[in-house]
Amino acid sequence: MISGSSIPYLIPPFIAFIVSLGMISYLIRGNILKVLDQPNSRSLHTRPVPRTGGLGLISGVLVSWAFLPVRPALLIWVAIVLLVTISFADDVRGLPVWPRLAMYMGLGAWFSAMTLAATHGWVVAVAATLAVTWMLNLYNFMDGSDGLAGGMTLIGFSCYGATAWVSGNEAFAIANFCIAAAAAAFLLFNFHPARIFLGDAGSIPLGFLAAALGMTGWMNGCWPLWFPVLVFSPFIVDASVTLIKRGLRGEKVWQAHREHYYQRLVRSGLGHRNTALIGYILMAASALSALWTVRQHTSVQFGMVTAWIAVYFIMMRLCDRHLRQGADGS
């Protein structure tokens, strides 16, 4: 039962959902920006689709955050606005890879220096810079199949919010629930067959938020440092292992491709819908196990993380074998 004292906490996520729903619906119906994701040899879709959904999702988040009793740090707001601006310019015009990466790393360094350097030292701040830069890029890499990135956003930030709530930090919890609510609105239009995509203006800021709020929760004592890694591990593992494999083969890791596990599953005949549903099961399992384990003894936490490493290793080996046999059979 919802008590009267809980009702104010429901307002910001509700605003996030409604604003995102209205904005995305308008962007689809009006198509005023006319920024389309054209199919090519490396994409999984076969028709032009608007890639402005991230503008609606992030708008819902920022508007709803204005109604929070305790708002996220100003530098997070500024970083999001800058990331949306840079990434939308890339969606429209196509910016060079290295200057864009340098700008992303600069924002990651700014966040890390302002939040971690004084309390945890520069070594930790440098490591955090690399983590933020990688997270915002891998979120973009994993945004290539209908419903996948939206589902990770809904599940991942819901887990952040639930864990922060249990730890007693209600304001931080609601900030995360706002992101999840906006993602829920986006998924109504993005689940297969997708009517709109996130675009870089959505995926890049969401990757930043996954890293920045994950570190914020750690600094606030809501969870240990391994927690956000396990919550978003379905994306982290797929993107990281794929990049390492391509690097070892001497391929240009910064070039677009279709070699992520989720892309290979879609192309194997599983399709967007089934790949997303399997992804949701994996995302929910990793998030729920992280939520349960975070309040257990350190030895249990170590055991859970180790178990998930083994699970991912087995899953990837089985997936590689299955896809290899399918390719040989064809």
Task: List the domain boundaries for the chain.
Answer: 7-328
Q: What is the pLDDT of residue 254?
A: 73
Q: Work out whether the CA dihedral 91, 84, 42, 33 comes out positive or negative.
A: negative
Chunked into runs of 10 residues, the chain (330 residues) has average pLDDT values of 59 97 90 71 70 96 94 95 96 90 96 93 96 95 94 98 96 97 98 94 98 97 97 97 91 80 90 95 98 96 98 94 66
Chain centre distance of CA 147: 12
3-state SS assignment for residue 37:
strand
140 is in an annotated binding site: yes
pLDDT value, residue 179: 98
The answer to whether 169 is annotated as binding is no
Q: Which helix (H) or strand (E) holds 36?
A: strand 36-37
Q: How far apart are CA 246 and CA 253, in angstroms?
A: 6
From the CB of residue 289, how many other CB atoms can be counted at a distance below 10 Å? 19
User: How many residues are listed for the chain in this entry?
Assistant: 330
Three-class DSSP labels, 74-123: HHHHHHHHHHHHHHHHHHHHCCCHHHHHHHHHHHHHHHHHHHHHHHHCHH
Percent of the chain that is helix, strand, coil (3-state, to 5): 75, 0, 25
Report how far residue 249's alpha carbon sits from residue 217's, in angstroms, rounded to the nearest whole number: 37
Cα separation, 176 vs 305, in Å, equals: 23
Using the 8-state DSSP alphabet, how is residue 276 labeled? H
pLDDT at residue 3, rounded to an integer: 46
